[in-house]
C-alpha cells in the first residue's frame, strides 16, 4: 500500500460505518427513498431561514470591491466585531474582535484550538457518550481523547472527572445541548463543573481550558435555558457553527471565541489566527462570514424540532424503549433492547429503519436516532420501532 | 505558557514576518494607503469575473431544497462530475467523479492528500524556492519537507532530485506556473521529471506521487502553454484552487484530482474523502462548489497580469536588478542587490516599497514582488525601485 499506514488502519477501523451507509443506500435503492426511515445523519431537512436567503440575495448583488479577497486569517474585522458585540450582550463578558476567530464550521474551530493548545502526548477530556469526531481531532495533534463517564441521565460524574486529570490534561470538551443524547446542562451543573476545573487546574499547575462546543444552543425545548459556561469559568473557549441553527452544514461557517480574561488570552488569539492558517483553512468562507454576521439574533426552528421530538419520544417510551428525555438538539439516545447495539441496529433494518450504534459515540449498549427529518418520516417509522422491540428477544 | 510549546516556537520563528506586516501597516497609516507600494501578498486586486457574479445571483434566488446541506465529504456528486468531464477534455485522461475531491482551496487539498499519504517521518520533496506553506503542511503530519535545488533559471536539478530521494520519500510537490518565481515548466522539463520519478520510484520500491499544485495554470504570458503533468506521469495528483484564476481567495474553493490509473487510486479516493472529513474541513463550501462547477472554462485575466509584468519587469532590469523573466503567475523574484535579502527589503521600505525576503521561500539572496496590484501602484513604485538600487552599496 503506497498510502499512509496510519490512515489505512483508521479507515479499516471505521469501515463498519461505511458498510452501514452502503447497506442503507442499497436499501433505499431497493425500497425507494421515501420508504426507508433514515435516522443516521445530523443533516437538517429544515431549510435556512428567509433572513438568510434575503441576505444572500442582497450580497449577491453587492458591488463592493474586495469582498471575495483574502483577509486576516481570523476573519473579516467587522464581522468579528459584530460577533463580539453579540456575545458580549448575551454574556455580559467584554468580548472584542481580537478574541473571535471565524472558522470552517465548528469542526474547523475545534481543530484550530486543539492545534493551538496541544503538544504530542497531551490529553483532552470529554464526557461519554461523545461526538465521535472529538477522538479523531485529538489524534490529529498526536494527543489522545480520554472519555469521562457520566451517570444514567448522561450528567457529568465529577469524581470521575477529577480522577481523569493528569499533568498532560490540556482541555475538557463539553457539548450542551448534547449530541448524541439531547441533554442540556443546567446552571448548577455548569457551576459545579467550573469549580471542579478550578480545583484540578490548581492542582496540576496549569489551566484546563473548557472548550464549549455549542452548535445546538438555540435548539432547546420546553423553555429550557442554556447557560454560557464562559460566565462561570474564565478559561473557556466558546465554539459554535451555523450548521444546525441556520441549517447551513454544507457551507462550513462557525467561529470560536476566547474569553478575554482567560489564561494567555492574547497568545491564544495570536495562536488561533496562526493555526487557522497553517491547518490549511486559511480563513472561513468570506461570503458566509458576511451573511452570518447579521444573523446572530436569528432564532432556530426549535418549535419545529420540539414537535418532532414530541412525535417520537413518547411513542418510543410507550413501546418499551428506555430513553432519557432530550431537552435540546435533535437526537434521541435510547438503550438498545438486549444490550447489543450493533445487533439491534441490524434488527431495526428489517423494519427499514436506519440508526447508528452507540459504540461509535463511546457508549455501547445505546443507539442514536437523528430526528432532523420530515415529520412524515417519523410518523411512518413508528410502527417499525414498535414491531422491532416487540419482535426482539 | 499554557498553550502548545510547538506552536509557540513556530510563531516565534515566523514573528519576523508578522513584524514586517506590522511595520507595513504602520507605514500605511503614516503615509496613507495609496502612497505605500505593497507587493507582499498574493491577494489579487482583480475582481471575480462577471460570469461568477451572474452565477452567484442566480443561485441566490434558486429555491431547490437541500443546497446548503451536508453532502459526501468529497463534495456534491454532480459538481465532481462536471470537474471530471472538464479535466478529461483537457487531458485526454478518463477522470471520473470518484477521483475528484472538492476542497477548502488548494491549501485544503494539499493537507488532504498529505494526510492520506504520510506516516510520521516521511519526506516530501519540493524544488527551492518554494511556497512557504509546504513546509508547514508536511510538518502537520509529522514529516519533513526536503527542498531540492534548482538552476539559475529556477529549473529542476534532476541529479539533485535523484540524490534527495530516500525510502521515506512519499511525494514531490511542483508548482508551475510558480510562486514565487513566475517560471513555467516546459513539456520537456515535465517529461524529464516524469522519467526521473519513474526511475527513483522503481529504485525505492514504491511510487513517489507527483503533487502538481497549479492554481496559476490560466495565468500565463506570451502564449506559453502549461503541460498537464498527469499526461506524462500516472502517479499524479492535480491540485488547484480558484483563488487566483477567478479571484476568489477568501471563499476557499478548490479541488484535487487523482489520476484514475495511479497506484492505489481507489484507496486514495477513499482516503482523501476520509481525510477531508477528519481534518475538520468536512467538505468544501457548498454554494461555491455549485458556482465553480459551471466556470471551469472561464479564462483568467492573463492579459491584465501580463500588462502588469510588462510594466514592472523591463523597468527593474533596466535599473540593474537581476531577475528571471516570469512566464506566468503574478510574481517577480529578483536577486537582492548586495546578496542580503532581509537588509535589502529593509532598504526598500525607505522608498515606501514593501516586499518579502526570499529566505521565507527557501531562497535567501532573493526577494519576492507580488504584482497583483493596481497598475498605478506599479507605475508610482518605479522611481523608488530605481533609487533603491542606485543608493544601495
> Got the DSSP string for A250-263?
GG--EEEEE-TTST
> What is the phi/psi pair of residue B21, to 5°?
-65, -40
- Give the CA diameter of chain A: 66
pLDDT at residue A15 in the model: 67
- Cβ pair B287:A105 closer than 8 A: no
- Cβ pair A4:B115 closer than 8 A: yes
Report the distance separating Cα A205 and Cα A167, nearest Å: 8
pLDDT in tens, A198-218: 999 999 999 999 999 999 999
> Which CATH number is B64-293's, of 3.40.50.360, 3.30.450.20, 3.90.800.10, 3.40.640.10?
3.40.640.10
Q: Work out whether strand A356-357 and strand A353-354 pair parallel, antiparallel, or are unpaired.
A: unpaired
Contact residues for A300 (Cβ-Cβ < 8 A; gap 6+): A218, A219, A244, A245, A246
Report the distance separating Cα B34 and Cα B36, nearest Å: 6
Average pLDDT over all residues of chain A: 95
User: Which positions in chain A touch B4 (Cβ < 8 Å)?
Assistant: 115-119, 271
Q: Which of A7, A61, A69 comes nearest B274 by C-beta?
A: A7
Instruction: Please provide the CATH number assigned to the domain covering B5-48+300-390.
Output: 3.90.1150.10
User: Which positions in chain B touch A62 (Cβ < 8 Å)?
Assistant: none
Q: Which of A43, A206, A278 comes nearest B69 by C-beta?
A: A43
Pairs from B62-66 (Cβ < 8 Å, separation ≥ 24): B65/A47, B66/A45, B66/A47
Instruction: Please provide the CATH number assigned to the domain covering A64-292.
Output: 3.40.640.10
Contact call for residues B279 and A140 (beta carbons, < 8 A): yes
**Could you give the strand order of the β-sheet that contains B331-332, starting from the edge strand earlier in sequence?**
B331-332, B367-370, B356-357
- Cβ pair B70:A140 closer than 8 A: no
User: Which positions in chain B touch A108 (Cβ < 8 Å)?
Assistant: 280-281
Q: Which of A4, A111, A263 comes nearest B279 by C-beta?
A: A111
pLDDT in tens, B213-236: 999 999 999 999 999 999 999 999
Report the distance separating Cα A146 and Cα A162, nearest Å: 12
User: Which positions in chain A touch B275 (Cβ < 8 Å)?
Assistant: 7
- Quote the DSSP letter at residue A373: S
Chain B nearest-CA distance from A387, in A, is 31
Q: Which of B18, B49, B58, B68 to mutate to test the interface with A (most CBs of A within 10 A)?
A: B68
User: Which positions in chain B touch A287 (Cβ < 8 Å)?
Assistant: 250-251, 287-288
SS3 of A149, please?
A: coil
Q: Give the bridge partners for A254, in sequence order.
A: A103, A241
Report the distance separating Cα A71 and Cα B41, nearest Å: 11
- Cβ pair B3:A267 closer than 8 A: yes
The ipTM is 0.96
Report domain A5-48+301-390's class: alpha beta
- Where are the domains positioned within chain B? 5-48+300-390, 64-293
**Other beta carbons within 10 Å of B312:** 24
Q: Work out whether strand B236-241 and strand B100-103 pair parallel, antiparallel, or are unpaired.
A: unpaired
pLDDT at residue A295 in the model: 98
Report the distance separating Cα B76 and Cα B119, nearest Å: 29
pLDDT at residue B345 in the model: 94
Report the distance separating Cα B342 and Cα B26, nearest Å: 18
pLDDT in tens, B112-142: 999 999 999 999 999 999 998 999 999 999 9
pLDDT in tens, B292-315: 999 999 999 999 999 999 999 999
Report residue B13's pLDDT band, with 50, 70 and 90 as the boundaries.
confident
Amino acid at each position: 500500500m503506497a498510502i499512509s499506514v496510519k490512515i489505512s488502519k483508521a479507515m479499516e477501523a471505521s469501515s463498519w460505518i461505511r458498510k452501514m451507509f452502503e447497506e442503507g443506500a442499497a436499501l433505499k435503492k431497493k425500497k425507494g427513498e421515501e420508504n426507508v426511515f433514515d435516522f443516521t445523519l445530523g443533516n437538517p431537512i429544515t431549510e435556512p431561514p428567509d433572513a438568510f436567503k434575503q441576505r444572500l440575495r442582497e450580497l449577491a448583488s453587492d458591488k463592493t470591491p474586495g469582498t471575495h479577497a483574502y483577509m486576516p486569517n481570523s476573519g473579516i474585522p467587522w464581522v468579528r466585531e459584530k460577533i463580539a458585540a453579540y456575545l458580549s450582550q448575551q454574556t455580559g463578558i467584554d468580548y472584542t474582535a481580537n478574541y473571535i476567530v471565524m472558522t470552517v464550521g465548528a469542526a474547523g474551530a475545534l481543530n484550530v484550538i486543539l492545534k493551538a493548545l496541544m503538544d504530542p502526548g497531551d490529553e483532552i477530556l470529554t464526557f461519554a457518550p461523545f461526538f465521535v469526531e472529538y477522538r479523531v481531532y485529538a489524534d490529529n495533534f498526536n494527543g489522545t481523547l480520554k472519555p469521562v463517564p457520566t451517570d444514567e441521565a448522561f450528567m457529568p460524574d465529577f469524581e470521575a472527572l477529577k480522577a481523569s486529570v493528569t499533568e498532560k490534561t490540556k482541555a475538557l470538551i463539553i457539548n450542551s445541548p448534547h449530541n448524541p443524547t439531547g441533554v442540556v446542562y443546567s446552571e448548577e451543573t455548569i457551576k459545579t463543573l467550573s469549580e471542579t476545573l478550578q480545583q484540578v487546574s490548581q492542582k496540576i499547575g496549569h489551566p484546563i481550558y473548557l472548550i464549549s462546543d455549542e452548535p445546538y444552543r438555540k435548539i432547546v425545548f420546553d423553555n429550557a435555558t442554556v447557560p454560557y459556561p464562559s460566565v462561570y469559568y474564565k478559561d473557556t473557549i466558546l465554539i459554535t457553527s451555523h450548521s444546525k441553527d441556520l441549517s447551513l452544514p454544507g457551507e462550513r461557517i462557525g467561529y470560536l471565541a476566547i474569553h478575554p480574561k482567560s489564561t494567555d488570552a492574547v497568545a491564544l488569539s495570536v495562536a488561533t489566527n496562526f493555526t487557522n492558517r497553517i491547518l490549511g483553512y486559511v480563513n472561513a468562507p468570506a461570503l458566509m462570514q458576511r451573511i452570518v454576521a447579521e444573523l446572530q439574533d436569528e432564532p432556530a426552528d426549535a418549535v419545529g424540532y420540539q414537535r418532532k421530538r414530541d412525535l417520537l419520544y413518547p411513542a418510543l417510551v410507550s413501546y418499551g424503549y428506555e430513553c432519557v428525555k432530550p431537552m435540546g438538539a435533535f437526537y434521541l439516545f435510547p438503550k438498545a433492547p438486549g444490550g447489543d447495539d450493533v445487533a439491534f441496529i441490524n434488527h431495526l433494518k428489517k423494519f427499514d429503519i436506519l440508526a447508528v450504534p452507540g459504540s461509535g459515540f463511546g457508549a455501547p449498549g445505546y443507539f442514536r436516532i437523528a430526528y432532523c427529518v420530515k415529520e412524515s418520516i417519523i410518523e411512518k417509522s413508528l410502527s417499525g420501532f414498535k414491531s422491532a422491540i416487540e419482535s426482539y428477544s
